[in-house]
Amino acid sequence: MDDDISATPSDVVTTMRGLSNYSADVGAAGRDVSYYSDIVTMVTSPVQLLIGFVGNALCVYVSYVAVDVITPIAAYAAILASVDSAILIVDVGSEWLTLVFDADLNRDVISRSDTTCKTFYFVRHFLLHLASWLMVCVAIELLRLTRNRKLLNYFRGERIVDTFVLLLVVLSTLNVHYFWTYGVSSVQFKLSTSDGASGALCTFVAKNLQGYYEDESCQHILDQLHWVIADIVPIVIVTVSLVLIRHTRAKEGPSGDTRLPLTGHIGGRTPDRKRKPAPADGGQVLVQRSYWLLLVLFVAFKLPYVVACQVSDALFVGLKDSAAWALWLALLKASSNMNHSGKVFVYGSTWPFFRNELRKIFRRKRESGRDVRLGEKRQKGASKFQITAI
């Protein structure tokens, strides 16, 4: 299938980089817009990847340590860290490789096969949606535990599995359209100063019931649907949850303490009625605040870029294609990507709690090793006594 697509110089640079020697034909304004955006991406992408993987590793560790303190939140946060790592590789990593090594992931890998093209767009958007809605799960669980601490003692681990499976089914259904709306197409770019450049590209190729290709309005509707599912609705829910958390007074637990107890019960286990939960210590408070700060950063990183993208569509052509606006939009995009790599700052603030927990873990390992060695010595002594007696 062959489509003739008229593209601006900046569109050609950002979409078909390295396809041919058409960069010399691009106007000065287009080069400036692409140049400033590329500089921001080349500088921020390695930092985001490094900080992101460190932060996500810390998130998994915090979830492991805090599993008996705030079980549901820790479980969702651990899954979220894995999803964020995959998003960093797919989005930030591929874009950085394109700029540094001129290895266009879209041109060299995705566009080689129609199946690869469809699968890539499905997985990419599915991961973005899943990350946002896992953050919604963290916000709702933190709000529930803030309103009533007793819920932790009656928590069942099966609810995490049920919620996660429900998210997988719903989000897969909402994104399955990428298997027929996207595909590999032979694209002809018409430039004002040359004959143009052509090549295979993974792009929007949806057809209507009459067999004709859909116009740009259909793609605009799909973009708005992605915007609502991945950005607007999660941001609204998380923001409302943050406001309610700040203005909610928790109900008293069995021990009269309004803070989270340290005794969590996983699965179908029932709490011990004879033993009152221990009062929360400073480490537990730090962990709870770190998850609250994680929600705040989600809104702070994501909202400005979402608003800027919507405003960009309504701007005049001259302002939208200016180098200043491109630089500002690139900075906001880098800030939005920090939503997937900014956990290191959140969990780094709770380092005293990590240090104490590490000491406890190492102490338990040393004690268990000492017990094993002591048991072996006693066993050898008993065997020697038996031989002597014989």
Q: What is the pLDDT of residue 389?
A: 52
More confident residue, 241 or 194: 241
Residue 388, pLDDT > 60, answer: no
Residue 31, pLDDT > 60, answer: no
Give the model confidence (pLDDT) of 204-236 as tens digits: 776 655 555 556 667 777 888 888 888 899 999
2: CB partners within 8 A, 6+ apart: 185, 186, 188
Please report whether residue 234 resides in a domain: yes
Q: What is the pLDDT of residue 133?
A: 93
More confident residue, 197 or 138: 138
- Per the DSSP assignment, residues forming a β-bridge with 198 are 188
Please report whether residue 56 resides in a domain: yes
Please report whether residue 366 resides in a domain: no
Buried b (16+ CB within 10 A) or exposed e, 206-218: beeeeeeeeeeee
Q: What is the pLDDT of residue 100?
A: 80
Write down the pTM of the prediction.
Answer: 0.70
- Contact predicate 99/44, CB 8 Å: no
Length of the chain (residues) = 390
Looking at the chain, the whole-number percentage of residues with pLDDT higher than 90 is 8
Give the model confidence (pLDDT) of 33-57 as tens digits: 567 777 888 888 888 888 888 888 8
Say how far apart CA 351 and CA 358 lie, in whole Å. 10
Give the model confidence (pLDDT) of 169-183 as tens digits: 999 998 888 888 877
Task: Name the pLDDT band for 12 (thresholds 50, 70, 90).
Answer: very low
Say how far apart CA 20 and CA 305 lie, in whole Å. 32
Number of domains within the chain: 1
Q: Can you tell me whether residue 225 is helix, strand or coil?
A: helix
Residue 26, pLDDT > 60, answer: no
Give 280-285 contacts, CB < 8 A, sequence gap 24+.
282/352, 282/353, 283/350, 283/352, 283/353, 283/356, 283/357, 284/66, 284/69, 284/259, 284/260, 285/259
Q: Nearest-CA neighbor of 245 among 140, 132, 120?
A: 140
Please report whether residue 307 resides in a domain: yes
The parent domain of residue 230 ranges over 2-349
Please report whether residue 201 resides in a domain: yes
Give the model confidence (pLDDT) of 87-114 as tens digits: 888 888 888 887 887 766 666 777 778 8
Please report whether residue 324 resides in a domain: yes
The CATH code of the domain that includes 224 is: 1.20.1070.10
Q: Can you tell me whether residue 98 is helix, strand or coil?
A: helix
Task: Please state, rounded to an integer, the average pLDDT across all residues of the chain.
Answer: 69
Please report whether residue 242 resides in a domain: yes
Please report whether residue 387 resides in a domain: no
